[in-house]
Structure 1
Amino acid sequence: MKIVVLDDYQRVARSYAPFDALPDAEVEVLHEHLVGVDELARALRGAEVVVAMRERTPFRAEIFAKTPDLRLLITTGMANASIDLTAAAAHGVTVCGTASGAARNTAELTWALILACRRRVVTEDRALREGRWQTTIGTDLAGTTLGVLGLGRLGTQVARIGQAFDMRVIAWSENLTPERAEAAGATLVSRDELFAASDVLTVHLKLSERTVGLVGAAELAAMKPGAILVNTSRGPIVDEAALVTALTAGSIAGAGLDVYDVEPLPAENPLRGAPNTVLLPHLGYVTDATYRTWYEQVVENVVAWRAGSPVRVLSS
């Protein structure tokens, strides 16, 4: 049995996954991201089992058609918008997941980005290394307004941390009720008020047809000139071109981003040169505890599938 593990950027899959529980398996771990259906198909030739890390690599009908040996596809997490589950089933491929991971991981990173932006951490770090001392003036969080776009499991954790910073917390999402907002320590406001009133606007919506481009030019124009935008959810929720324009024009004060339309972020993407940004390579879920759980469950999934009783099966 051949197993291919994709997108092991940090080269840690073998240290986390107990592959010795599969003594007869040939395990190949790939460290570079594969682009394009043909390149991916060549890399997966002969593989019965493929392990995908989150949504880094799309699996659509065309790739299933080009990988006839594939029988088990495992994704970290219990949902993956990059996998066409209907196409997988049509090609006889079982798709399994792992525990989704703790929301606190991304909530903590969200606050790392907020603090880095508001206190100019990256700018001051670079200046100090270049021999300069105190080049910027930070802005306080206490007494300002935190706007949470999407008050679900993750947004609620971010909102509660905002209270600890003595921030006023407001929130909006399409189906949010005043009672649910109050339970999270937030006040439900209209969508327009969320953008207009927030000093820090943080995005925590799921990516769907109705959320793609939800934060566009009009929404960014409605924000305060001193406000910052933080996105640790999914890149396409924020219109990248509109965000670059707003940052370049100085119509908002900055942005902290962990997610992008295309990942890894292409070298030519204008966000790389946009002012007042803190950019991270989609690290929200990348922690020791999460990786340990995911990779251990990957092997559990293989063992259960080989025994004829697959676990954590995803279906369309």
Structure 2
Amino acid sequence: MKPRVYVTRKLPDDVIERLAQTCHVRMWESEEEAVPRDVFIEELKAADGALTMLTEQIDRSVLEAAPNLRVISQMAVGYNNIDLATATARKVAVVNTPGVLTETTADLTFALLMAVARRIPEAERFVKEGKWKTWAPLLLTGADVHGATLGILGLGRIGEAVAKRARGFDMTVHYYSRTRKPDVEEKLGVQYRSFDEVIATSDFLCVLMPYTKETYQLIGREAFAKMKPSCRLINTGRGEIVDEEALYDALVQGEIAGAGLDVFTEEPISTDHPLLQLPQVVALPHIGSASVATRMTMAHMAVDHLVAALQGKAPKAQLNPEVLTS
């Protein structure tokens, strides 16, 4: 008998057809709306495996309602929506899709940096709203990217890829990371600095750290007070790392010059959120990995990991390897 799996968002037919070759598949049939929690819990009661998104909160109550669940395959790199400790205790293997979105997310990070620096969304609205009447010497002037200092918080794969892009703009790159990377320093010419030094010297500050208890609201009032008034913050890491109330105050009070945000503490962010009222904020709907090629690769990888784990094999991306190795 084929194992039963539940897919929490509608995926392309070819992805589901591959999964259906080895599994009995049930799927939430919406591309845009997340599966309601009560439906998700009900579906998991009979499921051996689940292919999930970041939008599902898989906490203790969900896991305890799924007695047959053996595998959670998440179509994302992040997994802070999953109670990993409880999953491990219940011998549920948890896998994700790392590595495939590095370059795509780095592209988006740099695009967001450019958009904030040169006020591109503001300029587009200016034209479309019929406000462009003549050329003016200081009309919508922004900040130069070439030759500026870029600070990177978290020099993982994406941070390294962003640093590579910065070389093409002759930027000076400083970074802070839990682990110093001498090989990357030599290869890319980036310079390790303390956290305080990075935030104090950056013209552009990219937040690419993972979300942990230690990084929760790490970028708060104390950090903003140390930044240049000309600094522009770019967050494509995790929304919880930035204190959004402190960010709003820093922007209004002129402690920093702008922000480009692809992630937020609560997603989707409310349309009446104070940050969205500021013209110097460029806000995106968490599209860091949103290229067709990358999302398709992620979907197929999630299927591969799900099937392998259901067959008792240990995917390289398993987040709790003790489950399958035991």
State the secondary structure of the residue aligned to 2:213.
Answer: coil
Q: Which of 6, 9, 14 is 1:4 aligned to?
A: 6
CA distance in 1, matches of 2:75, 2:98: 7
> After superposition, where does 1:218-257 map in structure 2 within 5 Å?
218-257=222-261
CA distance in 2, matches of 1:120, 1:305: 47
8 Å CA contact 1:19–1:299 kept in 2: the answer is no
Distance 1:146 1:314, change over 3 A: closer
Deviates more, 1:127-136 or 1:249-258: 127-136
8 Å CA contact 1:59–1:84 kept in 2: the answer is yes
Whether 1:176 and 2:180 are equivalent positions in the alignment is: yes
8 Å CA contact 1:172–1:191 kept in 2: the answer is yes
CA distance in 1, matches of 2:106, 2:167: 14
CA distance in 1, matches of 2:303, 2:194: 46
State the secondary structure of the residue aligned to 1:230.
Answer: strand
Please name the residue that 2:324 is paired with: none
CA distance in 1, matches of 2:202, 2:91: 49
> After superposition, where does 1:111-130 map in structure 2 within 5 Å?
111-130=110-129
> After superposition, where does 1:16-55 map in structure 2 within 5 Å?
17-20=15-18, 22=20, 25-29=24-28, 30-31=30-31, 32-34=33-35, 38=38, 40-42=40-42, 44-53=44-53, 55=54
Give the C-alpha shift of residue 182 in structure 1: 4.1
CA distance in 2, matches of 1:302, 1:177: 33
8 Å CA contact 2:71–2:310 kept in 1: the answer is no
8 Å CA contact 1:178–1:187 kept in 2: the answer is no
Deviates more, 1:131-140 or 1:91-100: 91-100
Gaps of 5+ in 1: none
Give the C-alpha shift of residue 172 in structure 1: 2.0
Give the C-alpha shift of residue 144 in structure 1: 1.8
Distance 1:273 1:166, change over 3 A: same
Distance 1:227 1:76, change over 3 A: same
Whether 1:81 and 2:80 are equivalent positions in the alignment is: yes
8 Å CA contact 1:199–1:226 kept in 2: the answer is yes
Please name the residue that 1:195 is paired with: 199
Please name the residue that 1:209 is paired with: 213
CA distance in 1, matches of 2:117, 2:18: 47
CA distance in 2, matches of 1:213, 1:80: 18
Give the C-alpha shift of residue 113 in structure 1: 0.5
Distance 1:209 1:184, change over 3 A: farther
Distance 1:98 1:171, change over 3 A: closer
Give the C-alpha shift of residue 39 in structure 1: 5.8
Q: Deviations over 1:17-67 (max 9, x none)?
A: 1425515724313431256x54642464544332112x3322121111123
Q: Deviations over 1:98-148 (max 9, x none)?
A: 453231111110111011011111011111111122641122112221111
8 Å CA contact 2:70–2:310 kept in 1: the answer is no
8 Å CA contact 2:224–2:250 kept in 1: the answer is yes
Give the C-alpha shift of residue 181 in structure 1: 3.1
Q: Deviations over 1:172-214 (max 9, x none)?
A: 2343266653433212223222222111111111111211111
Give the C-alpha shift of residue 308 in structure 1: 4.6
8 Å CA contact 1:256–1:278 kept in 2: the answer is yes
Distance 1:295 1:189, change over 3 A: closer
8 Å CA contact 2:19–2:25 kept in 1: the answer is no
Give the root-mean-square deviation of aligned CA atoms. 2.6
Normalised by the length of structure 2, the TM-score is 0.84
8 Å CA contact 1:99–1:293 kept in 2: the answer is no
Distance 1:66 1:15, change over 3 A: same
Distance 1:206 1:89, change over 3 A: closer
Normalised by the length of structure 1, the TM-score is 0.87
Please name the residue that 1:314 is paired with: 319
Aligned pair count? 310
Please name the residue that 1:277 is paired with: 281
State the secondary structure of the residue aligned to 2:173.
Answer: strand
Distance 1:284 1:296, change over 3 A: same
Distance 1:314 1:166, change over 3 A: closer
